[in-house]
Amino acid sequence: MSELQPDPAQPITPREIEESEQILIERQETYLNSLVKRLREPRIRHIIEPILAGQSLSDLPADDLRLALDLGLVRSGDGGGIVIANPIYREVIPTMLAYVTRAFLPQIAPTWLNADGTLNPDKLLDSFLTFWRQHGQPLLKSVHYHEIAPHIVLMAFLHRVVNGGGSLECEYGLGRGRTDLLVIWHYPGGVQRIVLELKVLRKSLAQTITEGLAQTLEYGEGCDADELHFVVFDRSKKPWSKKIFKRTRKHRGITIKVWGM
């Protein structure tokens, strides 16, 4: 942090904290390399993966849970249940899981920037959709966490987008089958806050969208988002023409864009 703000008399800004996190990750500090190795261990993956996917923790071997607790990766939540141990790990763990995938990403032309420097979320997700169709399946093979492999690929894509101009924050709805992403983008006139709620299709599409709209709005209101987007990944063997769509919905009077992938 001293490199970003060497004067101890000056306050540390949220953006400097975001930048320091990215510097640590890019440096591949020893403890982060150790963390990645731990995350790939099957015993740890069985604990961390359902948390990141927003699934319920059930039928877990007690020894595996005790190991994750002893390593300081998770803790007992204030309201019960198991959660990621601290805010830093909540950000670093998905970032590190996406690191290898991010390294394999091809060159991406930034077609999603407006003339005033703001992000255009529709163009951004259209670009990802094109990228997903072309490169998604090969990249999924580089992800150790198969249950949330599409989430990891999207996070890797978004990290490439926001690198140097913003940040990506993650939240996990434990037991609600969702992952919440908040894209924070800095531009000359201010800051954009764009919510992307992610789900893997497990129920009917209609039921998934109904639940997802309410959850997206709940998260968006909590972080004062400028735009709300709900992304549904269909991992079935249906043809692409049956999976891909873009719809605009209203929930409690608020516009939410729904993307099928």
* Residue 9, phi then psi, degrees to nearest 5: -80, -15
- What is the per-residue pLDDT for 138? 80
In DSSP terms, 193 is beta-bridged to: 184
Rounded Cα distance between 253 and 241, Å, is 30
- What is the per-residue pLDDT for 146? 83
Rounded Cα distance between 170 and 93, Å, is 10
Reading across the β-sheet that carries 166-173, which strands appear in turn?
Answer: 166-173, 178-187, 190-200, 227-233, 254-260, 245-251
Question: How long is the chain?
Answer: 261
Rounded Cα distance between 58 and 24, Å, is 34
- What is the per-residue pLDDT for 81? 77
Rounded Cα distance between 63 and 1, Å, is 37
Give Cβ neighbours of residue 83 (< 8 Å, ≥ 6 apart). 51, 74, 75, 76, 77, 172, 174
Rounded Cα distance between 205 and 240, Å, is 15
- What is the per-residue pLDDT for 226? 96
pTM: 0.80
Mean pLDDT, the chain cut into blocks of 10 residues (261 residues total): 60 64 58 78 90 77 91 83 82 78 77 93 93 82 82 88 84 68 93 94 93 94 94 91 93 97 91
Angle between helices 149-162 and 121-140 (to 10 degrees): 130
Whether the CA torsion 193, 111, 99, 51 is positive or negative: it is positive
Contact in structure between 214 and 228 (CB atoms under 8 Å): no
Rounded Cα distance between 109 and 41, Å, is 35
Q: Where are the alpha helices (DSSP H) in the chain?
A: 14-27, 30-40, 42-53, 62-70, 87-97, 99-103, 121-140, 149-162, 205-222, 240-243
Rounded Cα distance between 189 and 107, Å, is 28
Q: Where are the domains of the chain?
A: 1-261
Question: What is the bridge-based pairing of β-strands 245-251 and 82-84?
Answer: unpaired
